[in-house]
Amino acid sequence: MALRPLWRSYSYAWITLGFFILTIIGHWLFGWFAFVHEQQSNGQPATFGPYAMEMMRDTLENWQSEFLQLLWQVGGLAFLLFLGSPQSKEGNDRLEAKVDELLKHLDPKHGETIIREIDERYSGRHTDRPHAHR
């Protein structure tokens, strides 16, 4: 039963990992067929050592030029936003300042009290953000 939530929680990652494994196996398998054909047409034996060197070079070249760029652009940005990088906090701080001002404007008598209560309730989660009302 514990595996089901793990699968559901990370289903996108598991599917992506499955695609990655299938494609890397396919890349190396079809690379082997191409290498054998090339070696035969040159009258040379197909051995694993030269094949492994060629495939590692091709794999790392593809990895660097395609996957790492995409990984950094999408995955890195999402990860940094999740961690709460300064870039992600700017929008949140601006939004919070606007909401604080709206609360003070809508309820001048109790606005500050409401803001203080909300800040105290969530103080463990957002201790490092500046507050427009302080």
SS3 29: helix
pLDDT of residue 15: 92
pLDDT of residue 124: 63
**Once rounded to an integer, what is the mean pLDDT over residues 17-34?**
95
Most confident region among 53-57, 105-109, 121-125 by mean pLDDT: 53-57
pLDDT of residue 87: 57
pLDDT of residue 73: 82
pLDDT of residue 9: 82
- In the structure, what pLDDT confidence band is assigned to residue 125 with cuts at 50, 70 and 90? low
- In the structure, what pLDDT confidence band is assigned to residue 18 with cuts at 50, 70 and 90? very high
User: Distances in Å between the alpha carbon of 34 and those of 23, 26, 29, 49, 72?
Assistant: 16, 12, 9, 15, 31
pLDDT one-digit tens code per residue, 37-83: 999 999 999 999 999 999 999 999 888 888 778 878 888 778 777 77
Dihedral sign from CA coordinates of 56, 58, 63, 64: positive
Is residue 45 a contact partner of residue 39, using CB atoms and an 8 Å limit?
A: yes
